[in-house]
Structure 1
Amino acid sequence: MNTIIRPVKSNGWHKIALLLLIFAWSCSTPRKPTTTEFIILQLNDVYEIAPIQGGKYGGMARVANLRQQLLKENPHVTTILSGDFLNPSVLGTIKYNGQRIKGAQMVAAMNAAGVDYVCFGNHEFDLSEEDLLKRINESKFQWISTNLDYKKDGKTQPFFKKVNDKAEEFPRSVVLKIPNKNDEDTVKVGLLGLALFIDNDIVSFRKVKEAAQVELAALKSKIDFAIPMTHLLVKDDKQLAKDVPQFPLIMGGHDHTNMKHVVGNTVITKADANAKTVYIHRISFDHVTKKVTVKSELKEINESIGEEPKTAEVVKTWLDHANQGFNTLGFNVKEQLMDLKGASLDARESKIREEPTNLGKDICEAMLATIPEAKAAILNSGSVRLDDQLHGQVTVYDVLRTLPYGGDIFEVKLKGKLLKKILTTGAGNKGSGGYLQTTGVSYDEANKTWKIGEDTIADEQDYIVAMANYLLSGKETNFDYLTPKNPDIVYAKEDNDNPVREDIRKALIAYWKKKYGEKE
C-alpha cells in the first residue's frame, strides 16, 4: 500500500510563526562582537612635573588621575609621550646628593604616573651621554626608537636599557595586542617611534620615511595596523602622512602647541607642552571590514582634575629638593611678579632662535638696566631654555625655568667694528642658540648698516654694551672669536658686588617687578 503524503496548505500564520521562531533563536544566541576598542592617552614635550601658571594647568599627578579615570571607561589604555621630557627644566640644574638632577625628577614622575611608551625628542640629547644612559636605566617605561641608533666606539647599535645587569635593546617597534570584550578577537597594533635629525656624536640617524617603510614591511604579517609616535616639525608629520598613508593616526610632538590636522586618511595630533593639554584617542577596529576609527579628544589638564596621590607624593619629594636649592640661592620660587592676563611672552625655540621676541626684548632691557653707561644689550638666545610661552600669572619660578643657568652680566667696552661683526654673526645664526636677542641696536636695511640708537656704528669708535657671560666664552655657535682676549675689546667687567649683575635671573626679576608692579 502506497502512502501519499500531501503538503499542508500554507497560510500567513505559519510564516509569522516561523519568523518569530528565528527571531527568538537569534536573540538567545549571543552575537560575537566584531570590533575591538581601546584608548591611547597622548602627551608630548613635558618638562615640568608640577602644575604651571600658578597651578592652573598641567601636572603629572593630574595626568595620572586622568589615566585612572580612563581605565574605568576601558581597561585597555596605553599612555605615551612623544619625546622631550628629560630637558630643559630648571629642576634639572639643582644638585641632590651632590649631583645635578638632570631629568631624574621627570623619569620618577613618569614612572609613578604609569607612562607606558616613549620615543626620543631632541632635548633628550641635551644631556651628556652618561646622564642620558642613567635616566634610561631609571625608567620603567618602554622606549621605542625606529630611526635613531647609538654610536659608541665606532660601532652603531640600538640604544639599550640595563635591567638586572643585562642590556635590553630598544625595539624599533612594539606590537600591542588588545582583545575585544569577549576576548575572542584580538587587534594587533604596531607602535613606532620616529624622531627628527639629531646632531649629536652618539646618534646615528635614519631618514624618517625610509625607517617607517622598512619597519612596516617587517611588521606586515604581524599587525592589523600601525601608529607612530613622532617628534618632528608638523610639516614633516604631514609629509610622513603622505609618504606612509597606511597610518590612521600620527601622535606628534616638538611644536609645543596643540593642533590637529588631517592628511588623506591620517589624523595628526599634538598636545600643548607641559601637559597643559593631552589627547585622548578612542580607537576602534572592525575585525570584519578591517576599518580603523579614531576619535581624538583634546583634554585640558586643569584644576578640575584631582591629583593621583602616589604620583603627587613623588612630585612633592622632588619639588622639596629643588626648593631647598633655590632658597639657598636666594630665590622665593612662589613669589608672583605679574599677571599677563590675555598676553604671552614667547620663549619657544622655534621663535626665539629665529627672530626677536617680546621675552628676548625684556631680558635685554633687564640687562641694560643694570649698567647705566651701556647703550645696548646682547643675549645669545641659547641662554633661554624654556622652549614655551609664559601666560597668566608669572612667578620667580618661571624666571628660573626661562634662564635655568643664570650667569653674570658683563659690561663690555669694544670697538665698533667688532660690535658690527658680533651683530652680523648673530643675524646669520638663525635656528641656533647663537641667534641674538638685542635691545638698543638695529639694522638699517636701506643703507645696509648697523645702528646703535639713532647713530650708525663707527668702526673705530668705542661702545659700551651689556652682554651675557656665556656669549663672552667663545663657545657659542660661530662666536669662537668673542672672548675678553679679543684685541678689539677694551675691557669686559663683571660686578660681583652687585647681586643683580652677578645673576641675570635676578636682573629680570627686578626689571619685571618695576615694569609690571607699577601697573598693578
Structure 2
Amino acid sequence: MSRSRLLLLVLLLSPLACGQTPPAALTIAHFNDVYEIGPVEGGRVGGLARVATVIKDLRRTNSPVMVTLGGDYLSPSALAVPRIDGEPIAGRQMVDVLNAVGLEWATLGNHEFDLLEPAFRARMQQSRFKVVISNVTDATGAMFPNTEDFAVVPVNVGGQSLRIGLIGVTLEEPKPWVRFAPPIEAAKAAIAKMRATGQIDAIIALTHLPLSGDEALVAAVPDIDVALGGHEHENWLVHRGARLTPIVKADANVRTLALVSMTFPQGHRPEVSVRLKPITSEITADSVVDAEVTRWTTTAFDAFKSAGFDPTQVVATLPSSLDGRQSAVRNRPGSLTKVIADALAREAAPVDVAIINGGAIRIDDELPAGPVTEYDVIRTLPFGGAVTRVSMPGSLLVKVLEAGIQNQGNGGYLNTWGISKEGDRWMVQGRPLAPSMRYTVAMPEFLMTGRETNMAFLTRTHPLIGDITDLRDIRQALITELSTTFPVR
C-alpha cells in the first residue's frame, strides 16, 4: 500500500454516488504525537483550539463521535519545561487543554515516561479522558490511576446498540517504576478479558509503536479491526495482516486530524474508511480552548523569564529556513543540525569533534527565514542539559559513530562536526582517524547516560573516557551560535 505524505484518502464504494442514503457510521477523530498546544509553522497549521472546532462540528451531525489520541502528549514540550512553585509544569498544560478539547480516550507514548513518577501519576489523575493501556503497569503490577487495560464503549449507530472494544499498547521505555509487557501478548490477553464481558462489535487498538510494531501486532492479532497509532510524526495508512487491517497515523502536532469512519454491516466485519483533515488557519479557533492555550502560554513564558530565558527575545535573523523536521534530523545532515553541531563545538572549544543526536531536536518544524526567538530555541531543544566535553580514543569514537549510522531513522542518529566518512575511513579535521589517538569530543550530556539506542556502552564510567567537563546548557549554546552567525537585523 502506498504512503501519502500530505493527504490520504481511502474511498469505499460511495452510497451517495449511487443515490442511496449513506449508512450510519461511528466517526473517530484521532491524533497523535502532540507537543504544542498552539499552532506551529508560524501559525499556519496545527493548534488544539482548531481541533476543538472540528470536533464540535462533527458532533453537531448527531452521529456518534469518539476522540482518541495515540500517545506522546506529556513530553517533550517546551511549555512543560519551566517550573512553577518549584515543580516543572511537566504536562499540566497539555492535560488541561486536552480536557477542554474533549478528548475521550488516549494511550501512552514512550515519552510519557520522561516524567518522574509523581508527576506522571498526577497527570493521570488530572485527566478527564481515560487512558487505555494494556501492556503497562507500575512496578508492583498495579494499574496507574485513571488507566484501564481494556475498555468497552457502548455506542448507538443508526439505531444499532453496539459495544466497541478498546485496547492500548506502547513501546518500552525502561524505567524502574514501570513494568512493560510485550505488546502482542498483552493485546491478546486484554481482548480475551474483553470478550468475556459479552458481545464485542469492533475492536480498536490505540497504539504507540513504530510502524513495524503495528504491522506485527495486526498480523498476530486478527481480532483488531483498526489500529490507530502514533510514534511516527508523518501520516500513514497501510493495510496489513491476513484481514488487511488498517493502520492509521496522523501528522504530529495536529497538522492533520485522522477522521476514521466505521460502518457496521449486519453479520460482517466493520468497514473502515479514512481521510485526513488538515488543521489550518482557515479553521476558527474554539474560544474556550484558545483561552486555555493563552493562559498556559502566558504562565509558562513568565516561568521561563524567572529561569533566565526571555521567550519573546529575538536572538537572530535567519536569511533562509533551518530544517528541524524529524524526517530530516534523524536521517541526514541538514541546515539546523549543522548550526547545533557548530554551537556544541563553539561552546566546548577547543574540540576535535562534536556530535548531536537527532532525538534531542524536537521542533519537528522548520525555523523560517526571519526572526528567531528564545522560545524557538527552547522548542528546538526542550530537554536542555549541559554541553559535555570528553576525551576518548579513536577506537571508541569509531564505535560511537558507527552506532550513529546504525541508528539512521531514529533519535540515535548522529549529526557531526569536524569528522566525516570517506569510503571506509573516518577523517577528523581532514586527517585519517587514528584508533590509538585521543580526541576531544563535544556532545549533549544525555549521550553520556548510556540510554541512547545502540550506545549503552557510552557512559561516564567507561574506562576509556576521561576529562569530562559539563559546560553551559545546550540551549544557551545555541542562542550564542545563532546570535553570532545570524545577528539580529
TM bucket by the smaller chain?
A: 0.7 to 0.9
Q: Please, what is the CA RMSD of the aligned residues?
A: 3.3
1:275 offset after TM fit, Å?
Answer: 0.8
Choose from 198, 205, 210 the match for 2:173: 198
Q: 1:460 to 1:488 in 2, by over 3 A?
A: farther
Alignment deviations for residues 63-105 of structure 1 (CA, whole Å, 9 cap, x no partner): 1111101111234211110111111112111011221101111
Q: How does 1:188-337 map to 2 (within 5 A)?
A: 188-220=163-195, 221-263=198-240, 264-286=243-265, 288-328=266-306, 329-333=308-312, 335=314, 337=317
Q: Any conservation in 2 of the 1:57–1:276 contact (CA below 8 Å)?
A: yes
Q: Aligned equivalents of 1:227 and 1:106: distance in 2? A: 24
Q: Any conservation in 2 of the 1:86–1:123 contact (CA below 8 Å)?
A: yes
Match of 2:459 in 1: 480
Q: Aligned equivalents of 1:76 and 1:338: distance in 2? A: 47
Q: 1:269 to 1:137 in 2, by over 3 A?
A: same
Match of 2:88 in 1: 100
Q: Which moved more, 1:270-279 or 1:458-467?
A: 458-467
Q: How does 1:314-463 map to 2 (within 5 A)?
A: 314-328=292-306, 329-333=308-312, 335=314, 337-338=317-318, 344-347=323-326, 352=330, 359-370=336-347, 373-379=350-356, 384-386=360-362, 388-390=364-366, 392=368, 395-409=373-387, 414=391, 418-428=393-403, 431=407, 436-443=414-421, 445-446=423-424, 450-458=426-434
Q: 1:84 to 1:462 in 2, by over 3 A?
A: closer
Q: Aligned equivalents of 1:459 and 1:276: distance in 2? A: 46
Alignment deviations for residues 170-193 of structure 1 (CA, whole Å, 9 cap, x no partner): 322222212244xx4312211111
Q: Which moved more, 1:221-230 or 1:461-470?
A: 461-470
**2:474 matched to 1:504?**
yes
Q: Any conservation in 1 of the 2:150–2:191 contact (CA below 8 Å)?
A: no
Q: Any conservation in 1 of the 2:168–2:206 contact (CA below 8 Å)?
A: yes
TM-score (norm 2): 0.82
Q: 1:74 to 1:419 in 2, by over 3 A?
A: farther
Alignment deviations for residues 182-222 of structure 1 (CA, whole Å, 9 cap, x no partner): xx431221111122233222333332223223333333332
Q: Any conservation in 2 of the 1:36–1:185 contact (CA below 8 Å)?
A: no
Q: Aligned equivalents of 2:34 and 2:393: distance in 1? A: 40
Q: Aligned equivalents of 1:293 and 1:317: distance in 2? A: 42
Q: 1:35 to 1:509 in 2, by over 3 A?
A: same
Alignment deviations for residues 311-331 of structure 1 (CA, whole Å, 9 cap, x no partner): 111111110011113334243
Q: 1:273 to 1:421 in 2, by over 3 A?
A: same
AA aligned opposite 1:230: T
Alignment deviations for residues 396-455 of structure 1 (CA, whole Å, 9 cap, x no partner): 42321221243454666x4xx5354244235336558776432102345535xx431121
1:486 offset after TM fit, Å?
Answer: 7.6
Match of 1:159 in 2: 144
Q: Aligned equivalents of 1:411 and 1:146: distance in 2? A: 42
Q: Any conservation in 1 of the 2:418–2:429 contact (CA below 8 Å)?
A: yes
1:385 offset after TM fit, Å?
Answer: 4.8
1:108 offset after TM fit, Å?
Answer: 0.6
Alignment deviations for residues 442-501 of structure 1 (CA, whole Å, 9 cap, x no partner): 345535xx4311213456766555444555688874233469x98853x8485xxxxxxx
Structure 1 unpaired stretches of 5+: 1-32, 162-169, 495-501
1:379 offset after TM fit, Å?
Answer: 3.5
1:136 offset after TM fit, Å?
Answer: 0.6
Q: Any conservation in 2 of the 1:333–1:396 contact (CA below 8 Å)?
A: yes
Q: Aligned equivalents of 1:387 and 1:482: distance in 2? A: 31
Q: Aligned equivalents of 1:487 and 1:71: distance in 2? A: 59
Q: Aligned equivalents of 1:38 and 1:120: distance in 2? A: 23
The alignment of Structure 1 onto Structure 2 pairs a total of residues equal to 455
**2:58 matched to 1:79?**
no
Q: Aligned equivalents of 1:377 and 1:128: distance in 2? A: 30
Q: 1:267 to 1:99 in 2, by over 3 A?
A: same
Q: Secondary structure at the match of 2:139?
A: strand
Q: Secondary structure at the match of 2:46?
A: coil
Structure 2 unpaired stretches of 5+: 1-20
1:309 offset after TM fit, Å?
Answer: 1.2
**2:143 matched to 1:173?**
no
Q: Aligned equivalents of 1:53 and 1:202: distance in 2? A: 37
Choose from 124, 131, 138 the match for 2:119: 131
Q: Any conservation in 2 of the 1:149–1:204 contact (CA below 8 Å)?
A: yes
AA aligned opposite 2:233: H
Q: Any conservation in 1 of the 2:324–2:361 contact (CA below 8 Å)?
A: no
Q: Aligned equivalents of 1:177 and 1:222: distance in 2? A: 11
Match of 1:165 in 2: none
Q: Any conservation in 1 of the 2:348–2:442 contact (CA below 8 Å)?
A: yes
Q: How does 1:111-126 map to 2 (within 5 A)?
A: 111-126=99-114
Q: Any conservation in 2 of the 1:337–1:396 contact (CA below 8 Å)?
A: no
AA aligned opposite 1:89: S
